[in-house]
Chains A and B, each alone.
Chain A
Amino acid sequence: MQRAVAAAEQLAILALARADGLPAFAADGALSSWEVFGQQLVTGLSNGMIIALIAIGYTMVYGIVELINFAHGDLCMLGAFFALTAVGALGMSEWGGAGGAVGLVSLLVATAFFCGALNWSINRLAYRPLRKASKLSLLVSAIGASFILVNLGLFWGGMPMDVFAGGNSSAAPKAFPALVEPEPAAHLGDVIVSRPDVLVLLVTVPLMGALTWLVRFTKLGKAMRAVAQNPTAAALMGIDVERVIGATFFIGGSLGGFATVVYSIYNQTVSFQMGYRMGMDAFIAAVLGGIGNLPGAVLGGLLIGVVRAMSDQYIETRWTNAVVFGILILILVFRPSGLLGAKLREKV
């Protein structure tokens, strides 16, 4: 019992560290440096799995239309607002036990559908008319879409609901209720695996498995691979290229929807500006792994999550973003194909 209390205290310190970015264990002599490392590793891997799920959305879209879908992170931000609205409207933070579990699953699925549908619509309105235009026009259009979504998030935050603090200051970050209490679920030595950590694992791993199955073994997956390889040839083989692209946007968006709910529960705060950071981390993960490559996105996500956690711990939180962007630049300059990606020649 005492052990559990101590563990809960440590977790509270951890949560605090996550919230305001202080080195968690600087003042706590009780933990050895290996335990600190282990705890940061758990945090990093959990955040990394979430980043990986978002990164898959980037990498799928890039694989098929060669577009850096700049709006993807902001799509996830809107997903978080959607989830928060649902939680507030249904009073879900009060649900316990089995009802809470069913509610959580429904929330995940509903948010995934919302994000998928939104991503599909963005493709339809902002990207599809530009299929024949240059890559840069497409990228600029994506940046525009991203700004529109950010603004919608700002509007959404002004909704007069209790979960949005009455909507009085729409730009302020909002607290996301802890639908899964941050209590210890397991101990690996003195390293605590919390219940949100387990939630991350339970959501991300099956989804990645399902996606692998979809891409490898279904007809749609085969069509997606064909379009990614050569859209013209795929069209000549009777594949409805636009439908496949639409499906890719839907699937990528819905993975982002799952990820954003888990992210919000894990980090307990959402804001209309969070999409930029989430999107950047995920994009960097996708590039690190080799953009267009699904296992690469997962590897990259885990690496970025761990690098962030370690940089928070051993360098300084305020330098973490610079570290992550520095990694991005180094990869793009020295190994643009990423860790697992194939080398591409631009023009022969």
Chain B
Amino acid sequence: MSAAAPRRIRLTPWAGLAALAAVPFIDALLPGGLRLEDPMSEVFIYAILALGLNVLTGFTGLLNLGVAAFAAIGAYAFAIATCEIYPFQLGFWPALGVTVAAGAIAGFALGAPTLRVRGDYLAIVTLGFGEIVKDVLVNLDTITKGTQGINPLPPPSFLGTPLEARGQYWLLLAFVTVTFVGVRALERSRVGRAWISIREDELASRAMGIRPDHAKMLAFATCAALAALAGALMVSRLSSSGEPGNYDFQVSILALCIIIVGGIGSVRGTLVGAIVMVGMNSIVLVKLSELVGSPDAPGAALDEAQGLAKVGVFLRTWAQNVLVNPTNWKFLLFGLALVLMMVFRPQGILPPRPLHEAPPEGGEEGA
């Protein structure tokens, strides 16, 4: 046995963490339009959601198109547990506990009956689940207040003190960091390796003594619990559950885009994906539309123009109607991200490292 190589301390993660932690200070120096605190908070929340999805879809290979439903369940569980119009009125931290438990139970509830559903059929079942949860939340308006949403909700707090914006940012950063480290640890744990082996070959892993049903249920519950946590953090930050329509298919697809662009099954990749995709969605597109402003109302010139000029006016009016607003390009961007990644780089930006690296060249195996 050769001596263990000295443990290298990798600097990149610590530098990244330090840079993210410094964002509020940097923001203080920047003009209002360029501040990153709010959009980065959104990145963190989506990162937690996507880390959860990565457990189910990335590690275990079960495509979930309804992860937004788990976020919705978390959001409403948190809202009902805390809001003053309900009898519970828990504080922030106990409510988070309730939320995570509710999420895990929802994950079991969806996971148990769908264990026998495979492949793309499972994707469709999860999609249907997402739609049903959304409809139920809208329609049970005596409990959920329908499209009004539940508010006000307590902001995140720490040691009994409600946090202001900067504190909330650090708290979210802490949540992402803990989730990241936790999911990394899970990946290397016994159950994590079981998930990955099920993804690679369910029959073979069963033959090696893994119980796929147990492992899949755990993956469902973990995914749902993390998604519920993300939902609760989101509504706590906004102080309202928002309307159920906020947790629709688009959110599920954004989470899916994040793990695919980042590198499916890769924990580091998920963070990169969250920064790229949510950054694109909530920072670049939003800032661009602020820059463009609202276009001038197209006049009646179209009726007056003649001949070729009419074509020009037609195209210009068309462009003013939709094309100039960058947020109108959102779906195209998501769609292109998915198709292009699948066709040209299916492994994503930061593909997962193999769990067992090949022994180094000339290594003395078993010496």
Q: Are A318 and B139 in contact (CB under 8 A)?
A: yes
Per-residue B-contact encoding for A138-151, CB less than 8 Å = 1, 0 else:
11110111111111
| Residues from chain A with Cβ under 8 Å of B65 in the complex | 143
A139 and B120 contact, CB distance less than 8 A: yes
Determine which residue in B298, B318, B328 has the highest number of CB atoms from chain A within 10 A of its CB, and name it: B318
How long is the Cα–Cα vector from A30 to B321 in the complex, in angstroms? Answer: 47
Q: Which residues of A contact B129 (CB under 8 A)?
A: 325, 329
Give chain A residues whose Cβ lies under 8 Å from the Cβ of B96: none
Q: Per-residue 0/1 for A294-327: is the Cβ within 8 Å of any B Cβ (1 yes, 0 no)?
A: 0000000000000000000000101101100110
Question: Inside 8 A of A321's CB, which chain B residues have their CB?
Answer: 131, 135
Stretch of B5-13, B98-106, B109-117, B266-274 that contacts chain A:
B109-117
Bound: A135/B322 CA distance, A? 35
**B168 → chain A, closest Cβ, in Å?**
31
Question: What chain A residues lie within 8 Å of B330 (beta carbons)?
Answer: 151
Chain B interface size, as a band, is: 35 or more
Q: Are A328 and B128 in contact (CB under 8 A)?
A: yes
Give every chain A residue within 8 A of B120 (Cβ-Cβ).
67-68, 135-136, 139
Chain B positions within 8 Å of A130 at CB level? 342-343
Contact B322 A141 (CB under 8 A): no
- In the complex, the answer to whether B135 meets A283 with C-beta atoms within 8 Å is no
A85, chain B: closest CB distance, angstroms: 12
Question: A167–B317 contact, CB under 8 A?
Answer: yes
Given that A141-B339, A160-B314, A328-B124 are known contacts, is A147 also in contact with B116, CB under 8 Å in the complex? Answer: no
A154 interface neighbour in B203, B249, B328, B343, Cβ under 8 Å:
B328
Task: State whether the Cβ of B17 lies closer than 8 Å to any Cβ in chain A.
Answer: no
Instruction: Chain A residues near B22: list those with CB within 8 A.
Output: none
Give the residues in chain A near B132, CB-CB below 8 Å. Answer: 322, 325-326, 329
- Residue among B125, B332, B340, B346 making CB contact with A332, cutoff 8 Å: B125
Which partner residue on chain B sits nearest A320 by CB separation?
Answer: B135
B125 A329 Cβ-Cβ under 8 A: yes
Instruction: List A residues 139-174 near B (Cβ within 8 Å).
Output: 139-141, 143-152, 154-155, 157-160, 167-168, 170
Per the bound structure, the CA–CA distance linking A283 and B124 in Å amounts to 10
A170→B321 contact, CB < 8 A = yes
Residues of A close to B136: CB separation below 8 A: 322
Known contacts A133-B342, A144-B335, A347-B203; decide if A157 and B138 are in contact (CB<8 Å): no
Assembled-state Cα–Cα distance A139/B61 (Å): 13
Across the interface, which residues of B come within 8 angstroms of A137, CB to CB?
Answer: 342, 346
Give which listed residue, B117, B253, B340, contacts A147 with CB less than 8 A. B253
Give the complex CA separation of A67 and B124 in angstroms. 12
In angstroms, Cα B302 to Cα A168, docked, is: 13
- A287 contacts partner chain B, Cβ-Cβ < 8 Å: yes
Measured in the bound complex, the distance between the Cα atoms of B129 and A322 in whole Å is: 9
Interface flag for B251 (CB, 8 Å): no
CA of A133 to CA of B341, assembled, Å: 12
Give which listed residue, B61, B323, B337, contacts A158 with CB less than 8 A.
B323
Tell me the bound Cα distance from A145 to B256 in angstroms.
Answer: 14
CA distance A148 to B329 in the complex (A): 9
A126 at the interface (CB under 8 A from B): yes
CB of B114 within 8 A of CB of A126, answer no
Q: Is B336 part of the binding interface, using a Cβ–Cβ cutoff of 8 Å?
A: yes
Known: A145-B335, A160-B298, A322-B132. A287 touches B124 (CB 8 A): yes
Report whether B131 and A325 are in contact in the complex, using a CB–CB cutoff of 8 Å. Answer: yes
Given contacts A151-B332, A329-B125, A332-B124, contact A136 B131 (CB under 8 A): no
Residue B170 is within 8 A (CB to CB) of chain A in the complex: no
A346 beta carbon closer than 8 Å to chain B? yes
- Kindly state the separation between the CA atoms of A168 and B294 in the bound complex, as whole angstroms: 12
Complex Cα spacing A159 to B311, Å: 12
Query: Is A176 close to B, CB under 8 A?
Result: no
CB A203 to nearest CB in B, in angstroms, measures 28
Q: Which one of A141, A148, A167, A332 contacts B342 once the chains associate, using CB atoms below 8 Å? A: A141
Residue of B at shortest CB range from A129? B343
Q: Are A333 and B116 in contact (CB under 8 A)?
A: yes
Asked if B163 is an interface residue, CB under 8 A from chain A, the answer is: no
Residues of chain B lying within 8 A (CB to CB) of residue A143: 65, 253, 256, 335, 338
**For window 117-131 of chain B, which residues contact chain A by CB distance below 8 Å?**
117-121, 123-125, 128-129, 131
Closest to A168 in B: B321
Pick the contact of A144 from B63, B125, B342 — CB < 8 Å? Answer: B342
- Any A CB within 8 A of the CB of B260: yes
Query: With the chains together, A130 CA to B346 CA distance in Å?
Result: 10
Contacting B331 at CB < 8 Å: which of A68, A141, A148? A148
Q: From residue A308, how far is it (CB to closest CB) to chain B in Å?
A: 14
Residues of A within 8 A of B175 (CB): none
The answer to whether the Cβ of A336 comes within 8 Å of any Cβ in the partner chain is yes
- Whether A133 contacts B335 by the Cβ 8 Å rule is no
11 A-B pairs with CB atoms under 8 Å apart are A133-B346, A136-B123, A144-B340, A148-B339, A157-B322, A160-B298, A167-B317, A167-B318, A168-B321, A170-B321, A283-B124
* Closest 4 pairs between A and B when the two form their complex, measured CB to CB: A144-B338, A158-B322, A147-B335, A158-B321
Additional 13 contacts, C-beta under 8 A, given A148-B332, A157-B322, A159-B318: A68-B120, A68-B123, A126-B339, A126-B342, A140-B63, A140-B256, A140-B260, A143-B338, A151-B328, A167-B321, A167-B322, A325-B135, A329-B128
Query: Could you list which residues of chain A lie within 8 angstroms of chain B, going by C-beta atoms?
Result: 67-68, 125-126, 129-130, 133, 135-141, 143-152, 154-155, 157-160, 167-168, 170, 276, 280, 283, 287, 316, 318-319, 321-322, 325-326, 328-329, 332-333, 336, 346-347
